[in-house]
């Protein structure tokens, strides 16, 4: 005779995660914690006992998107808890959507978990109580083969267009051993690419005076260079190094020290370094950190040390006070800098930002015109750089493998080391071997390229 055991019904939580990779990491943490408390995840609105909306409140357009996502969750499910950056504006949320059950702010993990407990109390029972604490089974919202690794919260700067320090507070760095433990666990669980994120990666540990901790019998400082070196020594279960990508690095002098780690193969040769502008006058108005003159020389030096380095940056056009002369300075600088990947934004006032009080706003039509001119210059640079790679072989991480077509050919998409997920280009592969899987890293012969993407086949020896 067989016996069956009925598990108590687990309460289910749905999650809508908006905003940047940092918010995504917060969503993962909240869900991991809730799962440890006995909740299950619901992939749709209908199956959820309560829906969490992790909002972004940075730009007005992001606030609108957050409010509309909250509205949709209320319409589809009705039981909604709001968290994240826009949670700081509880009044605005409640004015638009009085039905929300609770509103908590960014990083208020305890409060959001408590709100879920209040509005959808967890099922009790021996099986639920035995659910393990977070481990390699932590909830991840990014695909298993890449993971964001958040090393700090907040920021000590006061860039004129930004309200992150108001929203997220001063820099608070995580302990270096905790970061490394999390990275090691992720890599053991299938991560093949670590994306190091924060508001200001090069400032890591400044608040803790770079407090050292023991890691694998060595003393490691909470410092970007020490952390990068240790991350580069991690090994996957197949004994290969994971790709380690640094994001949001400001051009402080000590950044020079991570470039040799790229040349040694410990770090992915990719640097996401948001310059935002080049004109010294505009940078001053923006109150940018590490705003020093010799950036072009340093870029040259970095490329001498590590010729394959891909430098990604973002720029704001139409900042108040930006004259035609300033903008032309930026275009000339870009021609000189030959950056590999560029993102551009038209300046948009953010409620509470100091830039709103600056004189000489740039008219919208002029912002559009400058944006188009900047894109034209950077697309041309990017296209030429991409073309130069045709005929070469590049390592590519596989993001997705398709189904066979009518001829049995299988296609796949991936990314080169110069391409971070979500923000950069892709590599489109044809005729891939049928044992190719997501997360594999393979050599690809580049057959063609456009301004952002590559096209090719898996290289044969
Ligand atoms: S460095 Fe500037 S732009 Fe970046 S988070 Fe801090 S204040 Fe905002």
Give the lowest-confidence range in 152-166, 308-322, 395-409, 419-433.
152-166
Please check the confidence at residue 190 and state whether its pLDDT lies above 60.
yes
**Percent of the chain having pLDDT more than 70?**
93
| Residue 27, pLDDT score | 84
Which atom from ligand 1 is nearest to the alpha carbon of 289?
1
Q: Which residues belong to the annotated binding site? A: 20, 56, 85, 155, 159, 162
Residues 333-348, mean pLDDT to the nearest whole number: 95
Residues 338-358, mean pLDDT to the nearest whole number: 92
Residues 113-134, mean pLDDT to the nearest whole number: 62
User: Does residue 155 line the site of ligand 1, with CB under 6 A?
Assistant: yes
Please check the confidence at residue 428 and state whether its pLDDT lies above 70.
yes
User: Does residue 153 line the site of ligand 1, with CB under 6 A?
Assistant: no
Angle at CA of residue 361, ends 357 and 364, nearest 5°: 135
Which atom from ligand 1 is nearest to the alpha carbon of 163?
8
Q: How far is the CA of 124 from the centre of ligand 1 (A)?
A: 44
| Residue 33, pLDDT score | 79
130: pLDDT confidence band, cut at 50, 70 and 90?
A: very low
Q: How far is the CA of 287 from the centre of ligand 1 (A)?
A: 9
Q: Where are the beta strands (DSSP E) in 377-461?
A: 393-401, 412-416, 427-429, 441-449, 454-458
70: pLDDT confidence band, cut at 50, 70 and 90?
A: very high
User: Does residue 287 line the site of ligand 1, with CB under 6 A?
Assistant: no
Residue nearest (by alpha carbon) to ligand 1 atom 5: 199
Task: Note the pLDDT tens digit of each residue in 292-301.
Answer: 668 999 999 9
Q: How far is the CA of 10 from the centre of ligand 1 (A)?
A: 41
User: Does residue 176 line the site of ligand 1, with CB under 6 A?
Assistant: no
Which atom from ligand 1 is nearest to the alpha carbon of 200?
1
In this structure, which topology does domain 392-458 adopt according to CATH?
OB fold (Dihydrolipoamide Acetyltransferase, E2P) (2.40.50)
329: pLDDT confidence band, cut at 50, 70 and 90?
A: very high
Residues 252-270, mean pLDDT to the nearest whole number: 93
- Determine how many CB atoms are found less than 10 A away from the CB of residue 302: 22
User: Does residue 157 line the site of ligand 1, with CB under 6 A?
Assistant: yes
Domain boundaries, the chain: 12-129, 146-388, 392-458
Give the lowest-confidence range in 46-60, 128-142, 407-421, 428-442.
128-142
Give the lowest-confidence range in 34-48, 215-229, 360-374, 445-459.
34-48
Residue whose CB lies within 8 A of the most ligand 1 atoms, among 155, 285, 313, for a mutation test: 155
User: Does residue 282 line the site of ligand 1, with CB under 6 A?
Assistant: no
Please check the confidence at residue 414 and state whether its pLDDT lies above 90.
yes
Closest CA to 422 of 410, 431, 413: 413
Task: Note the pLDDT tens digit of each residue in 9-53.
Answer: 678 899 888 877 778 888 888 887 788 777 888 888 888 999 999
Residue nearest (by alpha carbon) to ligand 1 atom 2: 159
Please check the confidence at residue 460 and state whether its pLDDT lies above 60.
yes
Contact between residue 27 and residue 138 where contact means Cβ atoms under 8 Å apart: no
| Residue 139, pLDDT score | 72
Residue with the bigger pLDDT between 26 and 138: it is 26
User: Does residue 171 line the site of ligand 1, with CB under 6 A?
Assistant: no
Residue whose CB lies within 8 A of the most ligand 1 atoms, among 21, 58, 161, 165, for a mutation test: 165
In the DSSP assignment, the letter for residue 80 is E
Residue with the bigger pLDDT between 231 and 251: it is 231
Please check the confidence at residue 413 and state whether its pLDDT lies above 50.
yes
| Residue 202, pLDDT score | 93
Q: Which residues belong to the annotated binding site for [4Fe-4S] cluster? A: 20, 56, 85, 155, 159, 162
| Residue 135, pLDDT score | 47
Q: In what order do the strands lie in the sheet with 270-272?
A: 146-150, 193-197, 243-246, 270-272, 310-317, 341-346
Instruction: Supply 380's token pair.
Output: 């041309």
DSSP H/E element including 115: helix 109-119
User: Does residue 289 line the site of ligand 1, with CB under 6 A?
Assistant: yes
Q: Is 72 exposed, middle or buried (CB count within 10 Å of its CB: 0-12, 13-18, 19+)?
A: middle
| Residue 138, pLDDT score | 67
Distance CA 123, CA 117 (A): 10
452: pLDDT confidence band, cut at 50, 70 and 90?
A: very high
User: Does residue 199 line the site of ligand 1, with CB under 6 A?
Assistant: yes
439: pLDDT confidence band, cut at 50, 70 and 90?
A: very high
Residue nearest (by alpha carbon) to ligand 1 atom 4: 199
- Is 146-388 assigned to CATH 3.80.30.20? yes
Task: Note the pLDDT tens digit of each residue in 233-244.
Answer: 999 999 999 999
Please check the confidence at residue 382 and state whether its pLDDT lies above 80.
yes
Please check the confidence at residue 435 and state whether its pLDDT lies above 80.
yes
| Residue 366, pLDDT score | 97
Mean residue pLDDT across the chain: 89
152: pLDDT confidence band, cut at 50, 70 and 90?
A: very high
User: Does residue 159 line the site of ligand 1, with CB under 6 A?
Assistant: yes
Contact between residue 241 and residue 395 where contact means Cβ atoms under 8 Å apart: no
Which atom from ligand 1 is nearest to the alpha carbon of 156?
6
Q: How far is the CA of 342 from the centre of ligand 1 (A)?
A: 18
Residue with the bigger pLDDT between 18 and 333: it is 333
**CATH for the stretch 12-129:** 3.40.50.12160
User: Does residue 169 line the site of ligand 1, with CB under 6 A?
Assistant: no
263: pLDDT confidence band, cut at 50, 70 and 90?
A: very high
Instruction: Supply 180's token pair.
Output: 């490394």
pTM, two decimal places: 0.79
| Residue 117, pLDDT score | 87
Residue nearest (by alpha carbon) to ligand 1 atom 1: 157
Residue nearest (by alpha carbon) to ligand 1 atom 8: 162
Residue with the bigger pLDDT between 25 and 347: it is 347
128: pLDDT confidence band, cut at 50, 70 and 90?
A: very low
């Amino acid at each position: 005779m067989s016996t069956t055991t009925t598990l108590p019904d687990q309460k289910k939580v749905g999650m809508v995660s908006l905003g940047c990779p940092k918010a995504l990491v917060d969503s993962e943490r909240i869900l991991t914690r809730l799962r440890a408390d006995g909740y299950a995840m619901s992939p749709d609105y209908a199956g959820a006992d309560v829906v969490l909306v992790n909002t972004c409140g940075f730009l007005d357009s992001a606030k609108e998107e957050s409010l509309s996502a909250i509205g949709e969750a209320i319409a589809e499910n009705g039981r909604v808890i709001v968290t994240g950056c826009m949670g700081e504006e509880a009044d605005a949320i409640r004015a638009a959507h009085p039905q929300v059950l609770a509103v908590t702010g960014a990083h208020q993990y305890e409060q959001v978990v408590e709100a879920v407990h209040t509005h959808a109390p967890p099922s009790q029972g021996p099986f639920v109580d035995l659910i393990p604490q977070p481990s390699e089974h932590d909830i991840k919202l990014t695909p298993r083969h890449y993971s964001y690794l958040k090393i700090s919260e907040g920021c000590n700067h006061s860039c004129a267009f930004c309200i992150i320090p108001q929203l997220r507070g001063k820099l608070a760095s995580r302990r270096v051993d905790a970061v490394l433990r999390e990275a090691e666990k992720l890599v053991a669980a299938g991560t093949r690419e670590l994306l190091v994120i924060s508001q200001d990666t090069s400032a890591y540990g400044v608040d803790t005076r770079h407090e050292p901790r023991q890691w694998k019998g060595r003393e490691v400082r909470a410092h970007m260079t020490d952390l990068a070196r240790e991350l580069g020594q991690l090994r996957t279960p197949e004994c290969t190094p994971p790709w380690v990508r640094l994001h949001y690095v400001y051009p402080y002098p000590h950044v020079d020290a991570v470039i040799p780690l790229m040349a040694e193969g410990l770090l992915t040769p990719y640097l996401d370094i948001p310059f935002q502008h080049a004109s010294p006058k505009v940078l001053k108005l923006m109150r940018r950190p590490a705003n020093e003159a010799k950036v072009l020389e340093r870029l040259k030096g970095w490329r001498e040390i590590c010729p394959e380095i891909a430098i990604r940056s973002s720029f704001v056009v139409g900042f108040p006070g930006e004259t035609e002369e300033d903008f032309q300075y930026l275009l000339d600088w870009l021609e000189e800098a030959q950056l590999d990947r560029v993102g551009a934004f038209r300046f948009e006032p953010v409620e509470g930002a100091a830039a709103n009080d600056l004189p000489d706003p740039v008219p919208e039509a002029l912002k559009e015109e400058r944006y188009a001119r900047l894109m034209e210059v950077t697309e041309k640079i990017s296209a030429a750089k991409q073309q130069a790679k045709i005929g070469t072989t590049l390592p590519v991480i596989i993001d997705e493998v398709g189904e066979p077509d009518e001829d049995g050919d299988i296609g796949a998409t991936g990314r080169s080391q110069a391409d971070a997920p979500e923000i950069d280009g892709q590599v489109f592969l044809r005729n891939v071997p049928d044992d190719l899987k997501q997360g594999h890293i393979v050599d690809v012969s580049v057959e063609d390229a456009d301004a952002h993407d590559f096209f090719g086949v898996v290289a044969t020896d």
